[in-house]
Structures are given as C-alpha cells and as structure tokens.
C-alpha cells in the first residue's frame, strides 16, 4: 500500500503571495488563484520550466501536465523557437508602424494547415480571436444574436461571471448544451432570423465537467443547422488547434466550419492567436468591420508561431501526442477500475481528465473530499494537474515522465479510496 507524502515546503510562494495581494486585487488573476487548486498545497509562483517540467520558487520540481493551460505543446525553453525569436529581435526588430514580412509567412503557414483557412487575421489572445470571430459574423450577417457552447474567454459577450457586464449585452448571447442537437435547434428557432453565429468548442470541455469528444455525426449536424438558419459556424479551436491534429479538431473529425479561432499551441507559449476562415466572410474586415491594435502586427510572436508550426509538422507532434495520450488514458482507466473509484475517466488523448462523481449511498460532498485529497497527494508526489481543468500531454513529456505521473495517480487513488471508501 502506498504511503502519504509530506506537505511540500512552499514558504517563498506563500510569502510572495502575501505581497502580491497588496499589489494587485486577489494577488493573481482568474483561474490561477489558489482556490482553483488545493489551497496551501500548491505553489503560487513558478521560477522556471524545462522540457515537460516546472520548478517553483521553493525549488520543488513537478511534471507539468497543465502546460500553462495549453500553450506548451512542445516543452518549456525550446531552443529552436527561442533562437528564431532572438534573431528577429536582434537583426530586424519587431514593433513598427507598418507590418513585417513575417506576417505573410505566418498567414501562409496557417492556410496550408487549417482546412477552413482561406484568409487569416492575427491577434494576441484567445479572447481576442473569439470576440473578433463574433464581430466578423455579425458584420457578415447583419444579425446580433450569438449562440455559444463552451468557454470562449473573458469578454463581455461570453464571460461566465457576469459582474460588470450590462444586461443588454448578456441578452445578445444564448448558450446551448454540447452534444444536444435538440437544444441547439430550439435556441435557433427561439431566435429565428436573428442568429449571427453558432460558436462551439468542437471538443466539449466545460469547466470541471467531463471532456467530451464529439458524438458521431454531431459536428456535421451542427454545421447543417447553422447553415439552415443562415448563421456563421465558428469552431473555437483555441485548445484543440494544432493539438487534436495539425489542422485542429476540424481536420481530426472531418467537419469544416466557416470560421475558426486558434491560439495556445500555435506558438508554444508566445502570445498570438488568429481567426481563420472563408474569404467571403473574412472580407468584411476590409472595410465594414474594424480590427486594429498597436500590438497585433508584432513579429516576435509570428516568428515563434512559424517555427512552432514547422516543428509540429516536421516531428509529427500531434499524432505522437495522440498515441501517448491513448495509452495514458487507458492506464488511468485501469487504475480507477483497480480500486473501484467513483471517478469518470474522460477526455481525448491530448487532453486527458477525470471527474469525481457522488457515489450512491455516500453522504453529500464526499466526492469533493475525495477530489481534494487526491490532488493533495498528486501534487506532493510532484505531479502538477488541476482539479477543475483537464490536463495536457506535451511533446517533451518523456515515457519516464508519463510513467511517474501514472504511478502518482495510482498511489493517490489507492490512498483516497482507503481514506474515503465507498459505502456499498
């Protein structure tokens, strides 16, 4: 039987967090706040990363399967990418009143790889990209209503916490359930003639819920319904882009949307994203729809993305990650079955996860105690994963890393079920 591991020393992290709370509201923002992990057990400040690992300011080394919430598809501190960026910085500069040739090269690369991409607009963040896609759809259709499914960022039209957002803005967005065609059709009929776009994460990954691969025929049916109602279909591929396949989930599952958004894995951590799509729809940005930012044309991130996409293709990275992830998910399922844990193993191979379920006969909230205890034991064993967000497999996660991660999961599940057995 596995043994409990002692609590990690996190003194520097906690001291820095005390200062951070004086300097900024909450100390750190959003999903990086301590209450999204296990408070007091997880570090808050990271010193560095290498390969598939991170090291916190107290010197604790972790196998990082959160991968900066998705951007790190290769690994930390990638020399090829960093050297390309340094050369651009040293020899050509990166911020000008006009654009540099890297923009054309970046856009050509995206068009070569992504099925829906006839034209591309580079921006900076995932929220930039999804919000621009919505604006393009509204400009193209002259309609206002957005039907959404999934997490699409923090801007007013889609933010899940409504504090500070006018009711008038919220009324222009309606949400439908992933995998439920009847729900989408009901919402399309409810807003008949007013829907500008249907925006959906092609792989379902609602916060803290099971990650769902698209049911057979689902994405094609969503496409048909959107077309029937004259709405633009947008795939939010911020997480799945260049990860589910080189061309994203649309390539993996064989359904091409009108528009798609990409970011995260496209540049291995450098801040860049884009909207890609059909020329006819994208062309509204020539005059009708306004897009501008001082920093959108900066070339360092484009150079990073160009080099990252080159490596992804050269090394066949998405397929190799898919193979490793398939084995990883199967081994997790074996570990869960071995101890009969009330856990739902889910996800797609590059994005594994499991969610905790309330077992029949258990008192209320026992599943939360199991979850907290499990993640306490995994972080103490040097595995950095998150209770409310799916995990990722990166290219630099070695077989030794994945085997160590599986051992941490197995031992933590055993200890969890010993401490919180299911009453049968």
Task: Return the domain boundaries, the chain.
Answer: 11-76+317-419, 79-314
- In this structure, are residues 42 and 9 in contact, taking their beta carbons and an 8 Å threshold? no
pLDDT of residue 209: 82
pLDDT of residue 336: 97
For helices 317-339 and 399-419, what crossing angle results, to 10°?
20
pLDDT of residue 274: 98
100-104 contacts at long range (C-beta below 8 A, 24 or more positions apart): 100/297, 100/299, 100/302, 102/299, 102/302, 102/303, 102/306, 103/297, 103/299, 103/302
pLDDT of residue 382: 98
Q: How far apart are CA 65 and CA 382, in angstroms?
A: 11
Cα dihedral sign, 283-286-288-292: positive
**79-314 classified as CATH 3.40.640.10:** yes
Look up the pTM and report it.
Answer: 0.96
pLDDT of residue 98: 97
Fold exhibited by the domain 11-76+317-419? 3.90.1150
pLDDT in tens, the chain (424 residues): 789 999 999 999 999 999 999 999 999 999 999 999 999 999 999 999 999 999 999 999 999 999 999 999 999 999 999 999 999 999 999 999 999 999 999 999 999 999 999 999 999 999 999 999 999 999 999 999 999 999 999 999 999 899 999 999 999 999 999 999 999 999 999 999 999 999 999 999 987 789 999 999 999 999 999 999 999 999 999 999 999 999 999 999 999 999 999 999 999 999 999 999 999 999 999 999 999 999 999 999 999 999 999 999 999 999 999 999 999 999 999 999 999 999 999 999 999 999 998 877 777 789 999 999 999 999 999 999 999 999 999 999 999 999 999 999 999 999 999 999 988 6
Domain 11-76+317-419 identical in fold to domain 79-314:
no
């Amino acid at each position: 039987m596995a043994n409990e591991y002692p609590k990690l020393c996190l003194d520097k992290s906690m001291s820095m967090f005390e200062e951070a709370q004086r300097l900024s509201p909450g100390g750190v923002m959003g999903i990086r706040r301590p209450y999204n992990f296990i408070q007091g057990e997880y570090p808050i400040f990271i010193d560095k990363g290498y390969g598939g690992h991170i090291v916190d300011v107290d010197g604790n080394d972790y196998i990082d399967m959160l991968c900066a919430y998705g951007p790190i598809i290769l690994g930390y501190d990638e020399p090829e990418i960093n050297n390309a960026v340094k050369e651009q910085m040293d020899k050509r500069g990166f911020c000008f009143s006009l654009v540099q040739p890297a923009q054309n090269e970046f856009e050509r690369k995206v068009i070569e790889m992504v099925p829906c991409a006839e034209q591309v607009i580079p921006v900076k963040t995932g929220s930039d990209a999804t919000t621009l896609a919505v604006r393009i759809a509204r400009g193209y259709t002259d309609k206002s209503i957005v039907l959404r499914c999934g997490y699409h960022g923090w801007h007013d039209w889609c933010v899940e916490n409504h504090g500070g957002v006018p009711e008038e803005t919220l009324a222009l967005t309606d949400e439908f359930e992933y995998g439920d065609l009847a729900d989408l059709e009901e919402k399309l009929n409810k807003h008949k003639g007013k829907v500008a776009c249907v925006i959906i994460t092609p792989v379902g990954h609602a916060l803290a819920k099971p990650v769902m691969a698209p049911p057979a025929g689902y994405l094609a049916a969503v496409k048909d319904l959107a077309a029937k109602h004259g709405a633009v279909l947008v795939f939010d591929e911020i997480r799945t882009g260049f990860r589910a396949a080189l061309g994203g989930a649309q390539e993996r599952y064989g359904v091409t949307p009108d528009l798609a958004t990409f970011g995260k894995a496209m540049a291995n951590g450098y801040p860049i994203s884009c909207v890609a799509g059909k020329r006819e729809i994208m062309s509204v940005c020539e005059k009708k729809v306004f897009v501008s930012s001082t920093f959108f044309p900066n070339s360092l991130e484009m150079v990073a993305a160009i080099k990252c996409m080159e490596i992804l293709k050269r090394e066949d990275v998405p397929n190799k990650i898919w193979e490793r992830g398939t084995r990883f998910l199967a081994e997790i399922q074996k570990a869960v079955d071995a101890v009969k844990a009330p856990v739902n193993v889910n996800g797609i191979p590059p994005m594994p996860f499991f969610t905790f379920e309330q077992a029949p006969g258990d008192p209320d909230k026992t599943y939360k105690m199991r979850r907290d205890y499990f993640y306490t034991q995994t972080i103490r064993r040097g595995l950095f994963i998150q209770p409310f967000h799916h995990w990722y497999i990166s290219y630099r996660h070695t077989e030794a890393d994945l085997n160590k991660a599986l051992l941490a999961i197995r031992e933590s599940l055993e200890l969890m079920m010993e401490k919180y057995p299911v009453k049968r």
